[in-house]
Amino acid sequence: MQDMLTAALLGLVEGLTEFIPVSSTAHLLLLAHFLGLQGSKTLEVVIQLGPILAIAYLYRDKLIEVFSTYRTKPASQRFIVSVLIAFLPAMAVGAVAHDFIKTVLFETPKLMAVMLVLGGVVLVFVDKIAPQTQVDDATAVPFGKALAIGVIQCLSILPGVSRSGATIVGARLLGVSKRAAAEFSFFLSLPTMLGAVTFDLIKSRHELDFSALTGIGIGLLVATVSGAIVVKWMLSYVSQQGYAVFGWWRIILGLGVLAALFAGF
């Protein structure tokens, strides 16, 4: 029962934080650090599929249309190419630096806390300093802007930066609207996260244990459902309110973690 509750909680945290710019990685690693709450290596990898399934389900009509018309429709071709262009920098950095990221950066709670605070400050002001909107459609991001967003996404190798946070901030500073920035981040998450999960599965294949299928299934289900709920809520919220609230959450959490660490916890 304890293992199932742990799986459900980790799945919930993954689903709730993956698509909002607060860093799901930092939340999961800090949970493990302060509460000793840690699932199996298999669970840690598999629950990342939850948000991917959530996006694939919510945008199933758009994805089916794009992939069924890419041979004949230039707009579909441009959309696929723009996402792939944005994905390439993270793929290259992840392949080269995977071991360093997992064994060094992910074991540094103070770094996570500092990144949470710095990223929070950026999010508080990003809507105020963003240039006038030039792109209002996530499926029509120009190739140059897509590449720039992809390069900025590479900052998310630092735990606490947030993949969605980096891509959203990058998109906003490049003149992409609030809603379109969030949606492009969602679409970019599909190849990025699927690539990361596949790479993790290959690298960790000797450590994987699928004997606790019930717990793994619970974690995956909770991550999928909570991820879908967050995506629908976030699009409505940020279109009206922007991203400052996520910045303040990061700042409060980061400062709280630093205080706890310096107090010896």
Instruction: Name the amino acid, one letter, at 157.
Output: I
| pLDDT value of residue 257 | 92
pLDDT at 39: 59
* Per-residue model confidence (pLDDT) at position 103: 65
Give 33-89 pLDDT, tens digit per residue. 777 766 566 777 888 899 999 999 999 999 999 999 999 999 999 999 999 999 999
Q: Which pLDDT score, from 0 to 100, does residue 61 have? A: 94
Contact in structure between 138 and 183 (CB atoms under 8 Å): yes
User: Looking at residue 33, what is its pLDDT?
Assistant: 75
Residues of the chain with pLDDT under 70: 1-2, 37-41, 97-107, 208-212
Q: String of b and e for 141-172 (b: at least 16 CB within 10 Å)?
A: bbeebbbbbbbbbbbbbbbbbbbbbbbbbbbb
Q: Quote the pLDDT of residue 94.
A: 77
Model pLDDT, residue 95: 74
> Mutual orientation of helices 143-153 and 163-173 as an angle, nearest 10°?
140
pLDDT of the residue at 110: 86
SS3 letters across 87-105: HHHHHHHHHHHHHHHHHCH
What does the pLDDT read at residue 28?
A: 87
CB atoms within 10 A of CB 3: 16
pLDDT at 122: 94
pTM: 0.88
